[in-house]
């Protein structure tokens, strides 16, 4: 379906979108998309950090369970 559009078709679609929404509305939407991507990346980094901290805490406690229970 998109194989037949070509560069002129994309240009025409871009012009129609610009006329319908206006430059201010499109730039505002793109700003919101950028904020969403940034928040998503921050969430991924936070999740990785939590997993690494949990793994590090588990690796630090190398005392066998029997000795831990006696103390």
The pLDDT tens digits for 3-48 are: 677 888 889 998 998 888 888 888 888 899 999 999 999 999 999 9
**Residue 71, H or E segment:** none
The CA-CA-CA angle for residues 34, 48, 42, to 5°, reads 20
What pLDDT, on the 0 to 100 scale, is given for residue 1? 54
Q: Is 61 helix (H, G, I), strand (E, B) or coil?
A: coil
Q: How many Å separate Cα 37 from the centre of its chain? A: 5
Q: Is the pLDDT of residue 70 over 90?
A: no
Q: Specify whether the backbone of 5 is left (phi greater than 0), alpha (psi in -120 to 50) or beta.
A: alpha
């Amino acid at each position: 379906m998109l194989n037949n559009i070509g560069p002129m078709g994309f240009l025409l679609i871009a012009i129609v979108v610009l006329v319908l929404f206006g430059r201010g509305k499109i730039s505002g939407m793109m700003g919101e998309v950028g904020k969403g991507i940034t928040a998503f990346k921050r969430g991924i980094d936070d999740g990785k950090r939590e997993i690494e901290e949990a793994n590090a805490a588990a690796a630090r406690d190398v005392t066998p369970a029997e000795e831990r229970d006696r103390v």
